[in-house]
Amino acid sequence: MNSCRFCRRKSLKLLFPANKEEIISDPTAFACTNCGFGSHGPIVRCQFCKMIYLDEKISQRQISTYYEVAKDPLYFSEQNARRKTFSSYLKRLERAFPEKGRLLDIGTNTGLFVRLALDQGWQAKGLEPNRWAVEFAKKNYQINLINKPFERNTFPKNSFEVITMWDVIEHFTDPVAEIEKVYHQLKPGGLFAFSTVDPESLLAKIMGTKWSWYMDMHRAFFSHRAAKHYLKKIGFTKVVFQSHWRFLSLGYLATRLAAINPLVAKAAQRTISFLGLSKTVVPYYANDLFDCYAYK
Ligand SMILES: [Zn+2]
């Protein structure tokens, strides 16, 4: 077994062998609402730094080219739930960092979070490689997102008070390098806030190799332990973890039950649809995600 890609120590262990044959070569796997849940290449864990990642040779540049062209029309169907989710993220963010200032949302998708932050008085910008999402933002939210691949995020030192990444960090082949950039771009005392999937959660442990968030799009997984290790190593002075809440429509929630049992999912979908509740938005506690606030 090779050395850990992140800490270079020879302490890698195979966590799960691949449960699909081919390495990704198709942009449809990179749509935000793509359904390749639980299908993945070989997954390894470093016993030293606790990083868990897909052990496939694919560059960030290659992955960015997929994100640039992927289209995701299904994304819009959850827009009401997303608006509530992002409003709640913003409220929590403002409690953690009351003085509003310059904010960058990395991997902002259609820019809804940026729109909400602008409306609340932040000087907000969004970075998004996907051309379809950037067009969507212009047309629907009247904002000009920065349309660049992540590896070309080159803001100078001390550019922002707050940088956010909602459900983004697990998409990078090298999240540590991306966080180093974030650290550099934050002013001293600034806040880096992100949400991510948790490979050491109870649900991930129960589901094992079939855990929904093991998928082509997700390249590296920050457990609490790995996040703490690297955030401190990079230089963040205070790291706070929180449980993760979001809003989902009952219709979407029912489709996600398919990860546990397709028959149960179908029955739930039919019942919810029969009752006319598919679009009803409900709060949802995700055991297998967490939020993290790291202060520079
Ligand atoms: Zn390591």
Mean pLDDT along residues 224-233: 94
Q: Where are the alpha helices (DSSP H) in 41-174?
A: 60-69, 79-96, 112-119, 131-141
Neighbours of 22 (CB within 10 A): 9
What stretches of 132-227 adopt beta strand conformation (E)? 160-166, 186-197, 220-221
Biggest alpha carbon–alpha carbon distance for the chain: 55
Cα 87 to Cα 73: distance, rounded to the nearest angstrom: 22
Least confident window among 36-50, 155-169, 252-266:
252-266
CA of 122 from ligand 1 middle (Å) equals 37
Cα 137 to Cα 109: distance, rounded to the nearest angstrom: 8
pTM attached to this predicted model: 0.89
Nearest by Cα to 49 from 13, 2, 6, 3: 6
CA of 259 from ligand 1 middle (Å) equals 29
* Residue for token pair 């003085």: 99
CA of 225 from ligand 1 middle (Å) equals 11
Q: What's the burial of 125, exposed, middle or buried (CB within 10 Å: 0-12/13-18/19+)?
A: buried
CA of 182 from ligand 1 middle (Å) equals 21
CA of 281 from ligand 1 middle (Å) equals 40
CA of 226 from ligand 1 middle (Å) equals 9
Q: Above pLDDT 70, what percent of the chain?
A: 90
Angle, CA of 102, 84 and 162, to the nearest 5°: 15
pLDDT at 96 over 80: yes
Cα 82 to Cα 102: distance, rounded to the nearest angstrom: 22
Mean pLDDT along residues 235-251: 89
Mean pLDDT (the chain, rounded): 87
Q: Are 186 and 296 in contact (CB under 8 A)?
A: yes
Strand (E) or helix (H) holding 233: helix 224-234
Neighbours of 272 (CB within 10 A): 19
pLDDT at 25 over 60: no
Q: pLDDT tens-digit profile of 263-272?
A: 887 888 888 8
> DSSP class of residue 215?
S
Nearest by Cα to 31 from 132, 106, 111, 114: 132
CA of 207 from ligand 1 middle (Å) equals 24
Cα 53 to Cα 171: distance, rounded to the nearest angstrom: 11
CA of 24 from ligand 1 middle (Å) equals 24
pLDDT at 125 over 60: yes
pLDDT reported for residue 229: 94
pLDDT band of residue 90 (cuts 50, 70, 90) is: very high
Tokens of 247: 């809003």
CA of 177 from ligand 1 middle (Å) equals 14
pLDDT reported for residue 32: 47
CA of 51 from ligand 1 middle (Å) equals 6
CA of 176 from ligand 1 middle (Å) equals 11
Cα 51 to Cα 187: distance, rounded to the nearest angstrom: 27
Higher pLDDT, 243 or 253: 243
Nearest by Cα to 288 from 37, 75, 89, 28: 37
Domains of the chain are 12-247+288-295 (3.40.50.150)
pLDDT reported for residue 247: 79
